[in-house]
Amino acid sequence: MTPRRPARLVVLVSGSGTNLQALLDACADPSYGARVVAVGADRDDIEGLARAERAGVPTFVRKVGQFTSRDHWDRAVTDTVAGFEPDLVVLAGFMKLVGAEFLTRFGGRVVNTHPALSPSFPGMRGPADALAYGVKVTGCTLFVVDAGVDTGPIVAQRAVPVEDDDTADTLHERIKVAERAMLVDTVGRMARAGWTVEGRRTRFGDEG
């Protein structure tokens, strides 16, 4: 994929939006090579939407409950996102699985950030599951979204040590520090250099 310059990012959120904020801050520098053209959510009244509004970025909300089926919701999200003509869609703490229509329209151009080292601990409780398992190192993963749960081709990972006195919350907060840096570094490189996906292998356009 070779994005436009600056690359157009649509970011989907469900919560506090600290990863979104890191992207918004990075995009303030023109040399970053990307800008957030819209932020979408599956719920109202979240800090992620407030962050977008403060940055002057258009927002939209599509709640599953507003639609007669999950497929209708997926189609509505797909159409709305498509209207913003994204080069890259970033799921940043978006707590819904996107559906078949979304992946057909944007396949290979949707990344998700997950607070664990894939393929370990997929799902909604990555930090808590890593802690319960007793691993000494966990981390975060940015991957190209496919039809599975946190199974897509990996673009970047960062390792984070587990401390003896960690709770799921303290561990998640430490992971999120690494995750924001990973997201900013990786999305910027994708925007500036482009990327390819071949099977499970991803590559930046500036790699040999």
Q: Which two tokens stand for residue 194?
A: 């482009």
| By the rule CB under 6 A, 40 interacts with ligand GAR | no
Residue nearest ligand GAR (C-beta atom): 93
Which residues are marked as active site? 114
How many residues belong to the site for ligand GAR (CB under 6 A)? 16
CB atoms within 10 A of CB 45: 8
Q: Please give the sequence-ordered ranges of beta strands (E in DSSP) within 47-171, or none if there are none.
A: 59-61, 88-91, 110-114, 137-144, 154-161
What's the closest the beta carbon of residue 124 comes to ligand GAR, in angstroms? Answer: 5
Q: Is 33 in the site for ligand GAR (CB under 6 A)?
A: no
- Between CA 17 and CA 43 the distance in angstroms is 13
Subset of residues 88 to 147 that bind ligand GAR, contact rule: CB under 6 A? 92-93, 113-115, 124, 126
Which CB sits closer to ligand GAR, 16 or 120?
16
Enter the DSSP assignment of 177: H
Figure out which of the listed residues 6, 7, 10, 17 binds ligand GAR, where binding follows CB under 6 A: 17
Encoding tokens for residue 19?
Answer: 């990863």
Shortest distance (Å) from residue 201 CB to ligand GAR: 22
Nearest Cα residue to 124 out of 14, 1, 10: 14
Task: For ligand GAR, give the closer residue by CB, 135 or 193.
Answer: 135
Residue 21's contacts (CB-CB under 8 Å, 6 or more residues apart) are: 51
Q: How far is the CB of 206 from ligand GAR (least distance, A)?
A: 26
Report in angstroms how near the CB of residue 127 gets to ligand GAR at its nearest: 8
* Interhelix angle 168-193/18-27, nearest 10 degrees: 30
Closest CB 47 distance from ligand GAR, rounded Å: 8
- CB neighbour list of residue 179: distance below 8 Å, 6 or more residues apart: 19, 113, 115, 140, 158
With CB under 6 A as the contact rule, which of the stretches 11-19, 23-31, 37-45, 196-204 interacts with ligand GAR? Answer: 11-19
Residue 15 in the binding site for ligand GAR (CB under 6 A):
yes
Determine the Cα–Cα distance for residues 96 and 111; give it in Å rounded to an integer: 13
- Given the rule CB under 6 A, which residues bind ligand GAR? 13, 15-19, 48, 92-93, 113-115, 124, 126, 176, 179
